[in-house]
Structure formats: structure tokens, C-alpha cells
Amino acid sequence: MMNTLIRLHYLKGMRRYSMTDDFDDELDSSSGLQLWLSDLSTDSATRNLGAALIGIGGLLGLIIGIMLISGNVSDILSGQLEESGGTADVEGIVISELVSNSSGAEGVSDIEVLLYDGDGLVIGTDSTDSGGRFSIEDVPRRPVKLEVAHPGNVTVHVLLIPGDYSQITITLMEGEGTQVLDMEGESYLGESVMIATIFAVFTLLTGFAGIAGGFEARKGISYRKTWWLSFLGLWSGALIFVGPLFTLSGMGLVGLSRGQFYDVHSKED
């Protein structure tokens, strides 16, 4: 009986010792992490590395902005103009007329589509496929007339400039005569170009802000100014996520070393 009691006391003592030892290990590990972070926060290399990453993110945004501005925005948006900028593809679909909400509005195959220039000469032709789609490639970007004629249906003439529309929809209606659709003055390409230009300028400016944020972090004077410039640099969206990833990593390091900035350090004093 005495031996059993002694053994129980021994086991309890060992358990307490084991728990204390585990607690000390956790405390040492936690203290080590805190000491490591504390060392990083006071090391100027941490702030300098953060400044470099923020600057790289801003530089990538600046490069993307320059590429967008220097390129022909209308070519990028239309997606149809060739590298020469002088030709485009004319694509569309020919559908039947909707009748009583029960039939029609389906692609019509084997419809001949003709394209005329300003002098009335045929410069392109195609026949619709099983889905009613047609495509005439490499058409000069000047006013043309698209003609869709089919026996028993109204002949449709579409006036347009190639490249202004990505898709042209033509509805065949039963009857005789000619229907003229003037689409030369309805293009929204100009508005699209303006939007793309604004986006390019915004990317350029936010890229500049990111670079300025990197310089501010390097100087270590104003943490608030550094943070706001870096935040603006995030919106450059350079290479979708690569640039913002650099900027965010830099902001994390700068935030860790914020005590090195003059405005933060002076308030703490």
C-alpha cells in the first residue's frame, strides 16, 4: 500500500514537471517570436526592403500605364483592327423574323452577304453558316454598305464603318422593298476610347503614387504619407496581382517598422 502511494505521488510530480516544461517551451517559443519581430521592427533594413517592394509595385503600374497610353486604344477595344490599323473584320448574324412569340428569331443559313465600297464595287462576300453567322475579313476602315438579299424577304442595306461594331444583327422580314440601316453615326467607340484612356491615365498616376510611397518609406519621415501613397499604388493593378502583391508585402514590412518613422517616433516620445 505504501509503495502504491509513493508511486502515485511520483507520477503526479512527473505530470506537473511535464506540464511546466511544456509551458516553458511555449513561453520560450512565443518570446523568441516576439524578440524576432522586435528586432525586425527596429532594423532599418526592414523599412528599406518594404520601401523597395512598394517602389517595385508602383514601377510595374507605371509601365502598364505607359503601355496603355502609348498604344492605340481604339485598336485594343475593337479587337478587330489589324496591326496596321487600316482594316477590320465585319462580322454578324442573320436571323429570321419573330412571329407571334412562338417561331422565328433563329439563324438563317446559306444567305449571301455582300459588302460594297463607296463606289458601289463588291469588296467582300460571304454566306451564312448553319447558325446564321457571317464574317468578311480585312475590310478597309471607311464607309461601306452591307447588303443582305433573299427571295421573298425585304432586302437589307446596312451603312457602317468596319471595326465600329463587334457584331451586326440583321433580321430578315417577309415582304418586298429595301430597308436601310444607317449605323455610321451610332458607334460608341469614341466613348469606349475615352474610358480606356481615363483608365490608362489612372493606372499611370497610381503607379507614380506607388513609386512616391517607396521613396517616402525610404526617407522614414512620415508614416501617414507613406501609407496613403502606397495605398493609392495598390490601385494601379499592375499585371493584375503581381504589382499589388509587391505593394502589399512592402506595406506589411513598413507597418512592422513604423516606429522608425519620425512622425510616429516623435509622438511616442
Q: Spell out the domain ranges in the chain.
A: 79-185
| Residues 200/73, Cβ–Cβ less than 8 Å | yes
| Residues 112/151, Cβ–Cβ less than 8 Å | no
Give the closest residue to 155 by CA, choosing from 134, 181, 127: 181
Give the closest residue to 183 by CA, choosing from 163, 157, 160, 162: 160
What dihedral do alpha carbons 134, 111, 126, 147 form, nearest 10°?
Answer: -90
Assigned CATH for 79-185? 2.60.40.10
pLDDT band at 19 (very low <50, low <70, confident <90, very high): very low
Least confident of 30-34, 156-160, 217-221, 259-263: 30-34
| Residues 187/201, Cβ–Cβ less than 8 Å | no
Query: Could you give the CA distance from residue 66 to residue 60 in angstroms, rounded to a whole number?
Result: 10
Q: Residue 52: CB partners within 8 Å, gap ≥ 6?
A: 214, 250
Q: pLDDT tens digit string along 71-94?
A: 655 554 444 444 445 788 899 999
**Between residues 8 and 37, the one the model is more confident about:** 37
pLDDT recorded at residue 198: 85
**Between residues 15 and 241, the one the model is more confident about:** 241
Grid look-up 502515485 returns 8
Q: pLDDT tens digit string along 141-177?
A: 888 999 999 888 899 999 988 887 878 888 888 888 8
Q: pLDDT tens digit string along 220-261?
A: 999 999 999 999 988 887 556 788 889 999 999 998 888 889
pLDDT band at 185 (very low <50, low <70, confident <90, very high): low
Grid look-up 511544456 returns 22
C-alpha cell recorded at residue 40 = 525586425
In the sheet with 155-160, reading across from the earlier edge strand, the strands are: 122-127, 112-116, 144-148, 155-160, 178-182
Query: Could you give the CA distance from residue 125 to residue 146 in angstroms, rounded to a whole number?
Result: 9
